[in-house]
Amino acid sequence: MATSTSNRIDTKRRKLLKAFAAMPAMAGVSMMGAPVPTVNAQALSNCGPRSLVCIFLAGGADSFNMFIPGGSRYDDYRTVRSNLAVNEQSLLEATDTRLGPIAFNSMIDSVANLYRDNRLAVIANCGPLIRPTTQQDYLAERSLPQSLFAHDAQQRLWQNGGGSVASSAGIGWGGRIADYAARCNMGSEVSPAFSISGTNLWQSSINTDYITLRALVPVRNMDGYNNISDWIPTDRLSRISRALVAGNNDAISRSSFRMEQEVGGAYERALTATTNLRSALANNPVSDFRFNTNNKLAGQLHYVAQLIAAREELGMQQQVFFVQMGGWDTHSEQLGRLPALLSEFNDAIGGFQQAIDRMRKSESVTSFTGSDFGRTLTSNGDGTDHGWGGHAFVFGGAVEGGRVVGTLPDYSPTNNADDTGDQSGQFAGRIIPTISVSQYGATIARWMGIPESDIPGVFPDLANFSVSDLGFMRT
Amino acid sequence: MVLLSIAACSDSGVQLSGADTQPVSGVAPNENSSTPGTNVTTPPATNVSATTGSLTIDAAARDASRFLMQATFGPRESDIQEYLRIGTDAWFEQQFNAPVSRTYAYTRANSNGSNREARHEIWWNNVLDGSDQLRQRIAFALSQIFVVSDVDRVLANRQFGMADYYDMLAENAFGNYRELLEQVTLHPAMGVYLTHIRSEKANPALNIRPDENYAREVLQLFSTGLNLLQLNGELVLQGNTPVPVYTQTDVEEFARVFTGWNYATATRFDSVSIAVSDFETPMVPVDEFHDFGEKRLLNGMVLPAGQSPRQDLEMALDNIFNHPNVGPFFSRLMIQRLVTSNPSPDYISRVASVFNDNGAGQRGDLQALVRAILTDSEARTLSIADTENFGKVREPVIRLAHVWRALNAVPGPQSGGVHRHADLSLERLDELTGQAVMRSPSVFNFYQPDTPISPSDTLVAPEIQITTEVNSARVHTNFHHQLYRFTTDTDLGTDNPRVTLVNLDRPASLAADTSDLIDWLDLVFFAGAMPDSLRANITSVIRPLSSNTSGRFARAQDALFLAFSSPSFSVQR
């Protein structure tokens, strides 16, 4: 056991040393034992309890059928969406002080209710942009994000936090937030960042590795480590435990092969996670968050809810979560597929927010959606294709909700200046965003306590926009 | 250096992997599994320094093991021996001519179309015991490029179509890329997955356009990639900016090409009863829904107005196939699946040149491509293998297959003759490893070719994307359960009698001398590249154990567990 503990500290120390190199303001942390809480006051002035949840809708969600314009704009919407339009009987109406009547698809009543409760804001027509971009810019190919309309490229831009491929292309803005969160969590050996949906760019960071868990799979012991095994005879077990740890240490610190180092790091983080999370998760089952186990997003968000409930027990101030729901690439059968997707999304976020409310942590938990891109306003017969701008939702007790941030695009198929147009100059319904991901992300990052002086480094394109904070977070 | 006398071991009665059963092509799992639990508990004594047919762990043996890690689902001791005996050329000939192991007939017989397990049962049986190892390895690689996945809710219930699609990949593994691309394009499983089946010409009055899904992904993922490449795979740059291969307009043009295709047995285009749709016969054209207008494709090619759907499709696929990007783009992807994640530009260039011309003037010859990848000096030179960035993280499914192959795994006594892992059924293996055949989360496969090994690194390691904490912990625990609970020598008692059992007789027979055991492990599972620190680690754990019968078995268990749990076992160099 002693071997395994010092091993964990060794790895953490390596990570911290890298962090120290970047942030010389920090001092006074014991390298070998418990951290000493004498860190630079200014660096940690924003360390209130905060948990941030990124809900990524992979494949390009048809957000134009989630949030729908009201009043006269609805007629344009209905015309342009033809056979895919949500009819008036299936709308939940609400209002925005600037726009007047707006509506949500009745399949997402949790979203509508949070909006009416002033705890959810709609970020209208958002997407990766390098700078404010007009139809003329698009046609002249001026300062356009690379590989528009391609899933992976646009996911990368969303999660990287801008429209241009930054020099830190492999880093996500969630990872940058996690770097700050890690400094607030000196009482914890575990990373502040958790993905319940596999590897992602959004949480990638040089200094802070995130932990990947899987929905519905409890954290279990890694048999053979820590002298735990029901099957290895006890006279052999302790030697094996020591050798397993030594083997990882060798791979991480002595192997000259990069891939072996990385695999060793994954084993070691897995062990750290199992050792540190098991009891905290067991103590915080959040069993009042009930969900259908077929609802994969709810399963992920349940894990998030458990970790948020265990936040203090884990010695954490701040946490950064990534969950993801796939299946949104509705090129065909949209009329059949989209309702099922919306229903899953709706049940998951509704149940999650209720669980957070019951924990009385609403003020310290903010969730937001992102997606590859919005989809075409036009139909391809029974589905929609890859677009650009789309609507996003941000919700929680710290959100200035009940309003639409930004402007709605023109939904009309004639003389539409918000549209990229198709090959023959006809209307295509690929909408040019009017809010950039960097503006959206920077507003959230400030709430997580990233100092203003560091914001431009995280969102390099932000300087091209006149508004750097969209004002939807209470601080 | 210790001599391992493989042939002599065979003479002395040790059961060698595969020596007792002729690999059978595509047979039902329960037809070629031996009865488990009847193995002799006491391993026969083996004279490891016997003289006949002895095999030293020298450069040739190490290369043989490495080669078989790159080209098969993992070497058994007997495979290494056979490869050394017949040599590379004869081995290729044998593999190119081996009968194709298929999945369709078994899936048809054992699934109702929605039951997913059958497809995985026969796939595992084929990759474990099939004689067409190279073909199966290539088919698995192709299934990760021309991706369809039954995570899709329609394909989940089309297991016959899924199996047929995989067999199509296996049949074309040594064929021509152009023919493969056409069969991929017209397969209903792909038609459904990337939604070009029943895509129709534009209807401007209703603001309806052709579906762009397949048009985009066939270019981005199956053939050219996003940006112009040099022959060596490096980007063509204008200033500092990559040059796109195609524009959104090109996607729209290809989308028009792929209009008017339907299920072969469907009688209507606009509303097809899924119940009668045929997922095994290539899609057929329906003129009424095809866009007959002129289309402008890549590099100035113009499809004249009025061509039939099939003429349009053939010319469009020719247009894609002949784009100079395909050689370097596809070659790199295949090298990454087989040999190394970061091939040098020269390596890509050599392989892409073979794709462009197999030496007899033919473009797209996959047999020549596969041979070029595996016989290239960069794949074969041991001094290159030992450089710090060479190799790849082994795909978890292939690692598990290797363990089962090399340890003569047999299905559990109450398994009905089908394989099963300790914690999960085969069709849910993706929940353990992040990977199961044709169950990727999206058309972007289980991992992407440019995944950096760590954030912002220029070194890539696609499989790192699924080497997550939860997957690492679960795979580790799976090996623990396999070795300590589920062997042919352990008393299952009340433990799960359906789990596949590994046979440790061979390593136990060598364990009287710890270095003989470790040498064998090193050769079979590490291609002779086991790090010294791991060797020392294993030695320190097993040396205190007795060298009597039960002690030798314990030594084999502990040595294998430490080997399989080590980061080096996850890496193929």
Tokens found for residue A470: 């969209």
The CATH number that applies at residue A425 is 3.40.720
pLDDT band at B278 (very low <50, low <70, confident <90, very high): confident
Contact (CB, 8 A) for B328 and B369: no
Nearest to B351 by CA among B325, B332, B324, B379: B332
B403 and B503 belong to one structural domain: yes
pLDDT band at A430 (very low <50, low <70, confident <90, very high): very high
pLDDT band at A12 (very low <50, low <70, confident <90, very high): very low
* Domain encompassing residue B214: 177-321
Q: What pLDDT was estimated at residue A88?
A: 95
Give A221-237 pLDDT, tens digit per residue. 999 999 999 999 999 99
Q: Are strands B295-296 and B284-285 parallel, antiparallel or unpaired?
A: unpaired
Report yes or no: B470 at the A interface, CB cutoff 8 Å.
yes
Other beta carbons within 10 angstroms of residue A425's beta carbon come to: 8
B8 and B36 belong to one structural domain: yes
B314 and B209 belong to one structural domain: yes
Whether pLDDT at B1 is above 80: no
Contact (CB, 8 A) for B327 and B355: yes
Q: Indicate the residue type of B539.
A: T
Q: What pLDDT was estimated at residue B270?
A: 76
Nearest to A57 by CA among A452, A329, A336: A329
In terms of C-beta density within 10 A (0-12 exposed, 13-18 middle, 19 or more buried), how is residue B384 classed?
middle
Contact (CB, 8 A) for A308 and A319: yes
Is residue A436 classed as helix, strand or coil in its secondary structure?
Answer: strand
B262 and B289 belong to one structural domain: yes
Q: Are strands A193-195 and A403-405 parallel, antiparallel or unpaired?
A: unpaired
Distance CA A440, CA B408 (A): 56
Contacts with B, A 172-191, CB within 8 Å: 175
State mean pLDDT over B6-19: 34
Q: What pLDDT was estimated at residue A187?
A: 85
Beta bridge partners of A55: A323, A369
Give A383-402 pLDDT, tens digit per residue. 999 999 999 999 999 999 99
Report yes or no: A264 at the B interface, CB cutoff 8 Å.
yes
DSSP codes of every residue in B221-288? TTTS-SB-B-TTSPBPEETTEE-BS--HHHHHHHHHHT-SEE-TT-S-SSS--TTT--SSSPPEE-GG
Give B479-502 pLDDT, tens digit per residue. 999 999 999 998 888 899 999 999
Chain A residues in contact with B252 (beta carbon < 8 A): 422-423
Largest CA distance in chain B: 85
Task: Say if the Cβ atoms of B455 and A262 lie within 8 Å.
Answer: no
Task: Say if the Cβ atoms of A214 and B442 lie within 8 Å.
Answer: no
Chain B nearest CA to A101, separation (Å): 26
Q: What pLDDT was estimated at residue B277?
A: 73
- CA–CA distances in Å: residue B503 to residues B306, B449, B486: 65, 36, 9
Distance CA B569, CA B552 (A): 22
Whether pLDDT at B44 is above 70: no
- Closest CA in chain B for residue A328: B442
State mean pLDDT over B396-407: 98
Q: How many residues does chain A have?
A: 475
Contact (CB, 8 A) for B298 and B323: yes
B468 and B450 belong to one structural domain: yes
How many distinct structural domains can be found in chain B?
3
Distance CA A288, CA A291 (A): 9
The answer to whether residue A238 sits within a structural domain is no
B143 and B239 belong to one structural domain: no
Of A236, A258, A429, the CB nearest to B388: A258
B207 and B310 belong to one structural domain: yes
pLDDT band at B272 (very low <50, low <70, confident <90, very high): low
State mean pLDDT over B245-253: 96
Phi-psi region of A164 (alpha: psi -120 to 50; beta: other; left: phi over 0): beta
How many distinct structural domains can be found in chain A?
1
Distance CA A56, CA A348 (A): 13
Report yes or no: A21 at the B interface, CB cutoff 8 Å.
no
Whether pLDDT at A10 is above 90: no
Calculate what percentage of chain A has a pLDDT beyond 70: 89
Q: Indicate the residue type of B466.
A: I
Contacts with A, B 325-344, CB within 8 Å: 341
The answer to whether residue A452 sits within a structural domain is yes
- Mutation target for B interface from A155, A167, A259: give the one with most B CBs within 10 A: A259
Task: Say if the Cβ atoms of A83 and B565 lie within 8 Å.
Answer: no
Chain B residues in contact with A323 (beta carbon < 8 A): none
The answer to whether residue A350 sits within a structural domain is yes
Give B110-123 pLDDT, tens digit per residue. 999 999 999 999 99
B9 and B126 belong to one structural domain: yes
Other beta carbons within 10 angstroms of residue B458's beta carbon come to: 9
Which of the residue ranges B273-282, B356-365, B390-399, B550-559 would you say has the lowest mean pLDDT?
A: B273-282
Distance CA B291, CA B256 (A): 6
Whether pLDDT at A281 is above 80: yes
Q: What pLDDT was estimated at residue A168?
A: 60
The answer to whether residue A246 sits within a structural domain is no
Q: What pLDDT was estimated at residue B274?
A: 62
Q: What pLDDT was estimated at residue A255?
A: 85
Q: Please give the distance of CA A56 from its chain centroid, rounded to a whole number.
A: 6
The answer to whether residue A430 sits within a structural domain is yes
Radius of gyration of chain A measured on its C-alpha atoms: 23
Nearest to B431 by CA among A291, A213, A191: A213
Distance CA B303, CA B284 (A): 20
Distance CA A267, CA B450 (A): 22
The answer to whether residue A174 sits within a structural domain is yes
Whether pLDDT at A446 is above 70: yes
Q: What pLDDT was estimated at residue B208?
A: 87
Whether pLDDT at B33 is above 50: no
- CA–CA distances in Å: residue A71 to residues A75, A84, A145, B467: 8, 19, 33, 50
DSSP codes of every residue in A275-315? HHHHHHHHH---TTS---TT-HHHHHHHHHHHHHHTTTTTT
Calculate what percentage of chain B has a pLDDT beyond 70: 89
Cα angle B449-B453-B458, degrees, rounded to a multiple of 5: 80
Chain B residues in contact with A257 (beta carbon < 8 A): 388-389, 391, 568, 571, 573
Report yes or no: A217 at the B interface, CB cutoff 8 Å.
yes
- CA–CA distances in Å: residue A369 to residues A130, A349, A395, A401, A454: 20, 11, 9, 14, 23
> Of B275, B293, B321, which one is at a domain's C-terminal end?
B321
> Of B385, B405, B432, which one is at a domain's C-terminal end?
B385
- CA–CA distances in Å: residue A178 to residues A437, B18, B193, B331: 18, 51, 36, 38
B71 and B159 belong to one structural domain: yes
Distance CA A54, CA A204 (A): 13
DSSP state of B303: E
State mean pLDDT over B84-100: 98
Tokens found for residue A420: 């990229």
Tokens found for residue B380: 């074969």
Whether pLDDT at B359 is above 70: yes
Of B472, B545, B554, the CB nearest to A270: B472
B186 and B119 belong to one structural domain: no
Of A257, A271, A337, the CB nearest to B571: A257
In terms of C-beta density within 10 A (0-12 exposed, 13-18 middle, 19 or more buried), how is residue A110 classed?
buried
More confident residue, B23 or A191: A191
Which of the residue ranges B277-286, B327-336, B555-564 would you say has the lowest mean pLDDT?
A: B277-286
B/e letters for B168-196, b = 16+ CB within 10 Å, e = fewer, are bbbbbbbebbbebbbbbbbbbbbbbbbbb
- Which residues does A41 contact at the CB level (< 8 Å), separation at least 6? none
Q: What pLDDT was estimated at residue A164?
A: 80
Q: What pLDDT was estimated at residue B18?
A: 33
Chain A residues in contact with B244 (beta carbon < 8 A): 147
* Domain encompassing residue A336: 50-216+293-464
Of B209, B213, B537, the CB nearest to A247: B537
Give A292-309 pLDDT, tens digit per residue. 999 999 999 999 999 999
Whether pLDDT at A405 is above 80: yes
Contact (CB, 8 A) for B180 and A316: no
Task: Say if the Cβ atoms of A229 and B484 lie within 8 Å.
Answer: yes
Of A258, A269, A426, the CB nearest to B469: A269
Chain B nearest CA to A154, separation (Å): 13
B169 and B39 belong to one structural domain: yes
Whether pLDDT at B545 is above 60: yes
pLDDT band at B204 (very low <50, low <70, confident <90, very high): confident
Q: What pLDDT was estimated at residue A66?
A: 98
DSSP codes of every residue in B458-477? SSB-GGGGG--HHHHHHHHH
Distance CA B109, CA B525 (A): 35
> Of B385, B408, B428, which one is at a domain's C-terminal end?
B385
Q: Are strands B295-296 and A193-195 parallel, antiparallel or unpaired?
A: unpaired
Report yes or no: B428 at the A interface, CB cutoff 8 Å.
no
pLDDT band at A84 (very low <50, low <70, confident <90, very high): very high
pLDDT band at A163 (very low <50, low <70, confident <90, very high): confident
Radius of gyration of chain B measured on its C-alpha atoms: 25
Task: Say if the Cβ atoms of B554 and A236 lie within 8 Å.
Answer: yes
Sign for the CA dihedral angle at B97, B101, B102, B106 comes to positive
Distance CA A347, CA A342 (A): 8
Report yes or no: A60 at the B interface, CB cutoff 8 Å.
no
Q: What pLDDT was estimated at residue B404?
A: 98
How many CA atoms within 13 Å lie on the side-chain side of A171?
18
Q: What pLDDT was estimated at residue A9?
A: 31
Q: What pLDDT was estimated at residue B276?
A: 61
pLDDT band at A162 (very low <50, low <70, confident <90, very high): confident
Whether pLDDT at B24 is above 60: no
B15 and B92 belong to one structural domain: yes
Calculate what percentage of chain A has a pLDDT beyond 90: 82
Cβ-based contacts under 8 A for chains A and B: 252
Cite the DSSP H helix spans in A324-421. Answer: 334-358
The mean pLDDT value of chain A amounts to 89
Task: Say if the Cβ atoms of A150 and B562 lie within 8 Å.
Answer: no
Whether pLDDT at A119 is above 50: yes
